Amino acid sequence: MPSETLRRRATPAELRVADRVRLFAAQSLGNVAALGSRLANRGSGASIRGQVLTRIAPDAFRLLLRGRRIASVSGTNGKTTTTHLLAAAVRTGLGADAGRLVTNTDGANLHYGLASALSQAPTADIAVLETDERVVSDMIAHGRPEVLVLLNFSRDQLDRHHEIKALGRSWRAALQRAGQSGPTVIANANDPLVVWAAGTAQTVVWVNTATLWTADAALCPACGSMLTTIDDRWDCPGCELTQPEATWRVDGDAIVLPSGERVTPELRVPGSFNVSNAACALAAAVELGVDVDDALRGMRTVTSPAGRFATTTMHGTTVRLLLAKNPAGWAEALPLAVSDPVILAIDSVAADGKDVSWLWDVDYEQLQGREVIATGPRAQDLAVRLTYAEVDHRVIPDLAAAVAAGGGGTPAPGSPTAAIDTLATYTPFQKLLKMAGLR
Amino acid sequence: MTTNPVEIVLVYQSLLGIYGDRGNATVLVKRLQWRGIEAKLTVVEPGDPVPATGAVYLLGGGEDAAQVSAVRLLTADGNLFKALDDGAVLFAVCAGYQICGNTFTIGERDEVIEGLGVLDVDTRRGSERAVGELLTTWTRPDGTEQLLTGFENHGGFTTLGPGATALARVEIGIGNGVDGTEGAVQGRVIGTYPHGPVLARNAALADHVLSTALDRELQPLERPEIDELHRQRVAFVRKQGLRR
Ligand SMILES: [Zn+2]
């Protein structure tokens, strides 16, 4: 039986007739375009549907958000998985009323991707929405989310790095403007940029995620002083910004609840970083009124969110697909790769980041003793990085050929998946999903 | 002066290291070791004393606030200047290049900050942000020419004074942004904009830095993969440049 909080219904989009007609027409055309895209084998069609939708109804994003109970999930790394975990928790909490939930499972997280997902479920009154960092302030302003999860905020694409501070400022401004009607922010207390960005929110639930990545957090985002770390907690000597006391905490494989009770999430997605994601998802689910046990049961049903961690066979090779978008993502994903050979796929179009200098911030030296198959358009950059790391490698630029070549190898003894681990940046990851028939 | 092993000093990685520039240190150390020359890497973080014994000092890219901190710390420490007087090489990239100059600016209000003053250059906010692949022609001290490639990402444009000479001429990209030049050289200080890291993408420049520091020619290294990357990047940037 869902709690009273979770049972509280909202009424999506009480729209004027004219808006309804316009949205319906836009949606129908968008659906046709999406179908065309699917038939032409150009992906799920979510983006094209959203593009058509927002061209005909530029205010679709705003109209479709209106009146729903929204939980928005953002951050540089882990937002797709966290969104899946939170959606699964809410779905389980809702039980027979699971139809009340809408979510953007395919990771289309810009304005039109969100509009597309919402247009598919006009009556669903609870929306769990993965939200790109650039859309967060619009989401706060137009969606008035109940809950906003801020996971982490590090450099994603090096060529866009200088935008990070401006983005953080836009979040602060949006939270400030929202005031009393702003969201309860579930925020990672270990990330100085997140703590600074959440600083203007009315209500914050801090989660100590026990995360390690600190390379982007040398300077205080508020005053520019050098941050110090005392007893595993960061602090700014130049102003009042300091690691807040958290009510939720990750401790090894366990999540410590505000009551002090320890629960083990026993997730089916690997890696300690996913325990951190689960802690944030759990805190958000509880905020929405989901019972802890229901939330945990739900999160355990998540296996390969939007293809991440999926094991699949193609070109005669069984591979496990791992996405690594940036240095922080590689630091998390690389230790999970245990096979020999390991396939690493690198590209540098806009979605991957055009500057591949980040290759030199990733500890590829840990692969010494195993063979790497370097693939993708920037395989040669990786090859040079591996040469200097003294890691054996072959360069096979074509993705399909690289996967086929991996089939000759054997998974490492004790490998949990008996598959060849294949780590990819964003664009080759999408290509791998398509090759595997997973999207 | 070079001690044995040859010490490569990576200065303030956590302040000036957001664009993979630590790779320049990895490249220099390996290229010495591959030639059988003993080398060691020293990573200096803010708060640590800078060793005065280094053969090569490296500064990388970073944000405005990091530049101000780095100048303050390096000036207070003083050992970098001592090492330069003793003949060490300073190789500085992007934000690191800017702080080597007389002055540079930070923030939306273009506040002028005094640099380390080891390069006779001044940096001011440019008319556009330079983000993209960069291709330049470097004229070596012996007069021969060599193409350099990298990825630039900076908002400042740099004007050279009479004490400094340009490192290279821009073929495609922005570089210093004011006169078709890229980077600056003054004695044993080299400043340049591209990341890549630049020494990973340009082995010839890496060996130039090393032979300057060691005061001798180095044996050539056969590493076809590194030459292939250089060839691919030059071809890519030229093709992209034609479409501009
Ligand atoms: Zn501060």
Q: Where are the alpha helices (DSSP H) in A66-163?
A: 79-94, 111-119, 136-138
Based on the domain organization, do A338 and A191 belong to the same domain? no
Residue A92 placed within a domain? yes
Based on the domain organization, do A80 and A160 belong to the same domain? yes
| AA letter at A85 | L
Scan for tokens 């937002």, then name that residue.
Answer: A79
The predicted model gives A18-43 an average pLDDT of: 72
- Among A249, A281, A305, the domain boundary falls at A305
Based on the domain organization, do A301 and A348 belong to the same domain? no
Residue B56 placed within a domain? yes
DSSP E strands in A194-301: the ranges are 203-208, 228-230, 233-235, 248-251, 254-256, 262-263
Query: What pLDDT, on the 0 to 100 scale, is given for residue A27?
Result: 73
Question: By the CB < 8 Å criterion, does A378 face chain B?
Answer: no
Query: What pLDDT, on the 0 to 100 scale, is given for residue A156?
Result: 65
Query: What pLDDT, on the 0 to 100 scale, is given for residue A319?
Result: 94
Residue A206 placed within a domain? yes
Structural domain tally of chain B? 1
Based on the domain organization, do A177 and A231 belong to the same domain? yes
Q: How do A203-208 and A248-251 pair as beta strands?
A: parallel
| Residue range of the domain that includes A407 | 310-435
| pLDDT value at A28 more than 90 | no
Based on the domain organization, do A339 and A276 belong to the same domain? no
Query: What pLDDT, on the 0 to 100 scale, is given for residue A232?
Result: 85
- For chain B positions 79-108, those within 8 Å of chain A (CB to CB) are none
Residue A190 placed within a domain? yes
**Torsional sign, CA A106, A108, A109, A113:** negative
Pick A159's closest partner by Cβ from B21, B65, B131: B131
Q: For A227-266, write each residue's pLDDT tens digit.
A: 888 888 999 999 999 999 999 999 999 999 999 999 999 9
The predicted model gives A93-99 an average pLDDT of: 96
Q: Helix %, strand %, coil % for chain A, to 5?
A: 45, 15, 40
Instruction: Give the confidence band of A72 by pLDDT, cuts at 50, 70, 90.
Output: very high
**Torsional sign, CA A193, A199, A205, A208:** positive
Say if the Cβ atoms of B20 and A354 lie within 8 Å: no
| AA letter at B97 | Y
The predicted model gives A186-201 an average pLDDT of: 95
Based on the domain organization, do A248 and A338 belong to the same domain? no
Structural domain tally of chain A? 2
Cβ-contact A186, A78 below 8 angstroms: no
Tokens of A420: 């060849």
Question: How far, in Å, CA of A12 to CA of A9, rounded?
Answer: 9
- Residues of chain A positioned with their CB less than 8 A from the CB of B126: none
Based on the domain organization, do A243 and A185 belong to the same domain? yes
Based on the domain organization, do A254 and A356 belong to the same domain? no
Query: What pLDDT, on the 0 to 100 scale, is given for residue A31?
Result: 76
Query: What pLDDT, on the 0 to 100 scale, is given for residue B1?
Result: 46
Residue A373 placed within a domain? yes
Query: What pLDDT, on the 0 to 100 scale, is given for residue A55?
Result: 74
Residue B209 placed within a domain? yes
| pLDDT value at A416 more than 60 | no
Question: How do the pLDDT tens digits run along chain B, 244 residues long?
Answer: 455 899 999 999 888 988 889 999 999 999 999 999 999 999 999 889 999 999 999 999 988 889 999 999 999 999 999 999 999 999 999 999 999 999 999 988 999 999 999 999 999 999 999 999 999 999 998 899 999 999 999 999 999 999 999 999 999 999 999 999 999 999 999 999 999 999 999 999 999 999 999 999 999 999 999 999 999 999 999 998 765 5
**Ligand 1 centroid, distance to B17 Cα (angstroms):** 20
Question: How far, in Å, CA of A120 to CA of A143, rounded?
Answer: 17
% of chain A at pLDDT higher than 90: 67
| pLDDT value at A301 more than 80 | yes
- Among A305, A336, A359, the domain boundary falls at A305
Based on the domain organization, do A90 and A233 belong to the same domain? yes
- Among A264, A288, A305, the domain boundary falls at A305
- For chain A positions 222-281, those within 8 Å of chain B (CB to CB) are 224, 226
**Ligand 1 centroid, distance to B73 Cα (angstroms):** 18
Residue A412 placed within a domain? yes
**pTM given for the model:** 0.91
DSSP E strands in A298-396: the ranges are 311-314, 317-323, 342-345, 372-375, 393-395
Residue B116 placed within a domain? yes
Based on the domain organization, do A330 and A398 belong to the same domain? yes
- Residues of chain A positioned with their CB less than 8 A from the CB of B64: 224
| Residue range of the domain that includes B56 | 6-242
Say if the Cβ atoms of A158 and B195 lie within 8 Å: yes
% of chain A at pLDDT higher than 70: 91
Question: By the CB < 8 Å criterion, does A215 face chain B?
Answer: yes
Based on the domain organization, do A266 and A325 belong to the same domain? no
CATH at residue A394: 3.90.190
C-alpha dist (Å) from residue A175 to A111, A390, B50, B72, B231: 19, 48, 43, 35, 49
Based on the domain organization, do A85 and A220 belong to the same domain? yes
Residue A28 placed within a domain? no
ipTM: 0.96
Residue B1 placed within a domain? no
CATH at residue B21: 3.40.50.880
Residue B91 placed within a domain? yes
Question: By the CB < 8 Å criterion, does B125 face chain A?
Answer: no
CATH at residue A237: 3.40.1190.10
